Amino acid sequence: MTFQIGDTVKLTGGKWFNEAGADLGGGEFVIVADNPTSEYFIDDTAMTVEILAISRYPTDFQLIAKPKPTPVFYRVGDRVELLERYDHQSKGDQGVVTSIEKSYGPADTQMLYVDFGSGGRGRPIGMYNYRVKPVASGPTALLGILQMIETTSKRVGTGDTQAILFSLMEEVGELATEINIENGTKDREPSEDGVEGEAIDVLVVIGDLLTSLFGSLESAELRTKVAAKLAKWERNAQ
């Protein structure tokens, strides 16, 4: 067993006494330091013990509880992983946060509703944030792309959704043409942009449209609606 600062342990072996000579066997203590030069193994008053004592006499201690991890506060759309089995879901199952409600627990808790997609129960499951951990992803580059689109949209965009729609239809048509050329169903030379360039044009126009509709690509409302759509997509995936 590996112990760490913050662990709660119980004395279950050996002979341990405080300065008054009282037997401390069976007492519960919290590990407070990792000090290799300390000569004070037990602080009976503060009910603490140092890792030094446990490293010298590991069989005398039993782990009672690990320290509660620092809480993570989530937003709708965040992907999370279960830390333990919960509500018929297995440890390690991943889902997306589809909504967040008021928590009636401690201040460092959130009430999350997590949709586990096709591997779930067909509905989001409510749980506190300490039951999950964030799934590591690499959002920096993606967020940078979206921020560039939003910045340009706000600088030069008209905000006219009908005009944006016409642009979107044009770009989707050009993308379809390039895909047909690449797949051999259209006999003509590909454009300089190719499929990749036309797909980027579609992304830019859609980003412009969403910026016009929601005011920002970081809008909480947009995140909520995208999360719901993605959860539905996962549920329907076969």
Q: What is the pLDDT of residues 137-169, one digit of tens each?
A: 555 567 778 888 998 999 898 889 999 999 999
The last residue of one of the domains, among 116, 134, 152, is 134
How large is the average pLDDT for residues 89-115? 86
Residue 55 forms part of a structural domain: yes
- Closest by CA to 115, choosing from 106, 126, 128, 124, is 124
Domain co-membership, 59 together with 84: no
Q: Give the pLDDT score at 200.
A: 96
pLDDT reading at 58 higher than 90: no
Residue 1 forms part of a structural domain: no
pLDDT digits 0-9 by tens, 8-54: 999 998 888 877 778 888 888 888 777 666 656 666 666 788 888 88
Residue 194 forms part of a structural domain: yes
Percent of the chain scored above 90 by pLDDT? Answer: 34
Domain co-membership, 144 together with 225: yes
How large is the average pLDDT for residues 94-115? 85
Residue 39 forms part of a structural domain: yes
Q: Give the pLDDT score at 233.
A: 84
H-type helices in the chain, by residue range?
A: 51-56, 139-156, 161-183, 194-214, 220-236
Buried b (16+ CB within 10 A) or exposed e, 80-91: bbbeeebeebee
Buried b (16+ CB within 10 A) or exposed e, 129-163: bbbbeeeeeeeeeeeeebeebbeebeeebeeeeee
pLDDT tier for residue 99 given thresholds of 50, 70 and 90: confident
Task: Note down the domain range covering 104.
Answer: 79-134
Comparing 233 with 165, which gets the higher pLDDT?
Answer: 165
Domains identified in the chain, total number: 3
Domain co-membership, 126 together with 59: no
Residue 72 forms part of a structural domain: no
Residue 73 forms part of a structural domain: no
Q: Which residue in this structure is represented by tokens 């409510």?
A: 126
Residue 20 forms part of a structural domain: yes
